[in-house]
Amino acid sequence: MFKVLVIEDDRSISRLLELELKHEGFSVEVANDGREGLEKYEAFKPDIIILDLMLPE
């Protein structure tokens, strides 16, 4: 299964991306700031990251 990590601080955007990607069959993890994104990257080992460039932390 293709793994996607979404790192986005706007929860409505990250939720929309999560739902749509899961609907298409992807395994999805979501992080809400840079620090959490790094932690989830190390644990989840995603194939691709969707990254908001203006993140806190």
Residue 56 resides in a domain: no
Residue 57's pLDDT is 81
CATH of the domain at 20: 3.40.50.2300
What is the domain range of residue 14?
3-51
Q: How many domains does the chain have?
A: 1
Which has more pLDDT, 38 or 56?
38
Q: Which residue has the tokens 């706007």?
A: 10
Residue 57 resides in a domain: no
Give the Cα separation of 44 and 32 in Å (integer).
15
Residue 56's pLDDT is 85
Residue 14 resides in a domain: yes
7-43 tens-digit pLDDT: 999 999 999 999 999 999 999 999 999 999 999 999 9
Give the Cα separation of 8 and 1 in Å (integer).
22
